[in-house]
């Protein structure tokens, strides 16, 4: 059995150029990275290139990638169809500051696929949820927004609340304390974010009653994916729909991670529940920075009436919208989802067999193209249960996988694997054979 310290030594010895890069990076970038989600101990590997389901780091080591940039690369790395379309688009100019044909086509495809009448483009998931919330506030004339404990909806103040709150400060299960992420969130903003318990309709009802006529919207990921893969209990989304209607607030589905991934039409299609506003990003951009938010026309009207502000220099840039059209029209077609889901299910089944064989205290789940290993006996159903797991085991698992050429999921224990349009049975077999070795070492 190797110790974690031995694995770190192996990591260091195999990633010498990454160490050098890290030393340079740290001088000019806090933590040596451009997004805090990319940092981990002792330092991250620095990537040189990617193709298909593989990535190569600056040391020339090959990895089978099941992170796929936190699921954004659903089209696969450097997919030739995408590369050709993006290269051709680049030759026609990358930014016009004026409307153009590709954004119209991309918007038509998105509206059709996600059951929207109108939508606007953004550059990221954070911007999509920010604008969706502003729109909901404008439409309802209310200030408060309800979110769920443990959920992440991007980097703006209203939703940077109770994302990974510390156990000691959680408060009552049904009425969780709203806790800011770090500092710099104004107290007034915090007052406008109501935090409810995932999978608990009574928590939602109690809080909507308590803040009656003040809550503009309930925002949620239809599957909580800031804590692995945590599906809604049977009927929970339907209950949320009914509660929003009863209390006159809007239901916002943050489909940044589920849109064009969980199913062709995302979570609305998968669960048969219709949201008022849908937020998108990641997969729809085909690897370029693109987000969107949309709704029925009447709900989008405040934008057309200049009542709810939306604008952006880079919104709908020709490269990103070309990538979007290509991804939705030619790569993320209907046939992709059952195939990728079957591979994801095989990953979870394979992991569970190996977990049992080696007697690990863990369990694997998969839903659609996303799955994860929880380092506890049974899958958790809310953030508080999720906290109760062996995070040290996750980090051993993470480093051991990297050392053996697999990126098993996006970095950190709160993430998940993504089976993209280009992953194959061979990738699944490779990941499982590495996990068998890792699990034997961990047992």
Ligand X SMILES: Cc1ncc(COP(=O)(O)O)c(C=O)c1O
- Which residues bind to ligand X, rule: CB under 6 A? 70, 124-126, 129, 152-154, 221, 254, 256-257, 281
Cβ-contact 418, 287 below 8 angstroms: no
- Shortest Cβ distance from residue 6 to ligand X (Å)? 33
Is 234 among the residues known to form the active site? no
Least gap, CB of 253 to ligand X (angstroms): 10
Query: Which of residues 179 and 219 has its CB atom nearest to ligand X in the complex?
Result: 219
Q: Catalytic one among 147, 261, 282, 414? A: 282
Q: Phi-psi bin for 247: left (phi > 0), alpha (psi -120 to 50), beta?
A: alpha
Three-class SS of 211-235: CCCCEEEEEECCCECCCCCECCCCC
Token pair in block for residue 26: 């740290």
126/189 with CB nearer ligand X: 126
Do residues 293 and 132 make contact, with C-beta atoms less than 8 angstroms apart?
yes
**Is residue 252 helix, strand or coil?**
strand
Is 237 or 400 the residue whose CB approaches ligand X more closely? 237
| Annotated catalytic residue within 63, 139, 152, 271 | 152
The residue of the chain with the least Cβ separation from ligand X equals 125
Residue 158: CB partners within 8 Å, gap ≥ 6?
Answer: 130, 133, 145, 189, 192, 193
Query: For this structure, is 152 an active site residue?
Result: yes
Between 280 and 355, whose beta carbon lies closer to ligand X?
280
CA distance from start to end of the chain:
8
- 276 CB neighbour count, 10 Å cutoff: 21
Name the residue nearer to ligand X (CB basis): 256 or 432. Answer: 256
User: From the CB of 284, what's the least distance to ligand X, in Å?
Assistant: 11
Catalytic residue among 57, 254, 414, 427: 254
Q: What is the C-alpha radius of gyration for the chain, rounded to an integer number of angstroms?
A: 22
Q: How far apart are CA 385 and CA 198, in angstroms?
A: 11
Q: Report the C-alpha gap between 175 and 188 in whole angstroms.
A: 19
- Minimum distance, C-beta of residue 153 to ligand X, in the bound complex (Å): 5
Residue number with CB closer to ligand X (131 or 396): 131
Minimum Å gap between C-beta 152 and ligand X is 5
Q: What angle do CA 247, 249, 253 make, to 5 degrees?
A: 130
Q: Are 121 and 291 in contact (CB under 8 A)?
A: yes
* Least spacing, CB of residue 80 vs ligand X, in Å: 25
User: Would you say 257 or 399 has its CB closer to ligand X?
Assistant: 257
Q: Is 254 annotated in the active site? A: yes
On the question of a cis peptide bond just before residue 262, with omega within 30 degrees of 0, the verdict is no
Alpha helix stretches (DSSP H) within 215-296: 236-247, 266-271
The minimum distance between CB 119 and ligand X, in angstroms, equals: 16
**Of all helices (H) and strands (E), which one includes residue 81?**
helix 80-90
Q: What minimum distance in Å lies between the beta carbon of 256 and ligand X?
A: 4
Sheet holding 277-280, edge to edge: 118-122, 291-295, 277-280, 250-254, 215-220, 144-148, 193-196
User: What sign has the CA pseudo-torsion 293, 297, 301, 304?
Assistant: positive
Nearer to ligand X, 180 or 285 (CB): 285
β-strands 62-65, 406-407 pairing:
parallel
> Which residues are known to be catalytic?
152, 254, 282
């Amino acid at each position: 059995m190797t110790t974690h310290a031995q694995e770190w030594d192996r990591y260091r010895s195999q990633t010498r150029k990454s160490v050098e890069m890290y030393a340079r990076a740290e001088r000019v970038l806090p933590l040596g990275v451009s997004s805090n989600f990319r940092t981990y101990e002792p330092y991250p590997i620095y990537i040189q290139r990617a193709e298909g389901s593989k990535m190569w780091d600056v040391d020339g080591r090959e990895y089978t990638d099941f992170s796929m940039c936190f699921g954004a690369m659903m089209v696969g790395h450097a997919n030739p169809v995408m590369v050709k379309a993006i290269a051709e688009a680049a030759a026609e100019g990358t930014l016009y500051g004026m409307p153009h044909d590709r954004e119209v086509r991309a918007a038509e495809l998105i509206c059709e696929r996600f059951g929207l009448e109108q939508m606007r483009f953004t550059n990221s998931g954070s911007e999509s949820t920010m604008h969706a919330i502003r729109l909901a506030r404008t439409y309802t004339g209310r200030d408060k927004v309800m979110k769920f404990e443990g959920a992440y909806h991007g980097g703006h103040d209203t939703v940077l609340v109770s994302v990974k709150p510390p156990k000691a400060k959680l408060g009552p299960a049904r009425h969780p304390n709203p806790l800011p992420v770090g500092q710099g969130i104004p107290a007034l903003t915090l007052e406008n974010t109501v935090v409810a318990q995932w999978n608990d309709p009574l928590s939602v009802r109690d809080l909507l009653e308590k803040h009656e006529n003040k809550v503009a919207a309930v925002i949620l990921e239809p599957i909580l994916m800031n804590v692995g893969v945590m599906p809604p209990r049977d009927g929970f989304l339907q209950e949320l729909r009914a509660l929003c209607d009863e209390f006159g607030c809007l239901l916002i589905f943050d489909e940044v991670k589920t849109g064009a991934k969980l199913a062709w039409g995302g979570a609305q299609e998968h669960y048969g529940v219709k949201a008022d506003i849908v937020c998108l990003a990641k997969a729809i951009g085909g690897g370029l920075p693109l987000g969107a938010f949309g709704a029925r026309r009447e709900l989008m009207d405040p934008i057309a009436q200049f009542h709810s502000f939306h604008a952006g220099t880079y919104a709908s840039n020709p490269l990103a919208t070309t990538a979007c059209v290509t991804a939705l029209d030619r790569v993320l077609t209907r046939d992709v989802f059952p195939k990728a889901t079957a591979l994801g299910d095989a990953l979870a089944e394979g992991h569970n067999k190996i977990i049992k064989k080696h007697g690990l205290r863990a369990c694997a789940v998969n839903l659609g193209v996303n799955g994860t290993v929880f380092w506890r006996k049974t899958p958790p159903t809310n953030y508080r249960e999720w906290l109760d797991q062996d995070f040290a085991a996750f980090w051993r698992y993470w480093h051991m996988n990297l050392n053996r050429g697999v990126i098993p999921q996006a970095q950190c224990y709160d993430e998940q694997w993504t089976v993209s349009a280009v992953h194959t049975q061979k990738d699944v077999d490779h990941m499982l054979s590495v996990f068998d070795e890792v699990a034997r070492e961990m047992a």
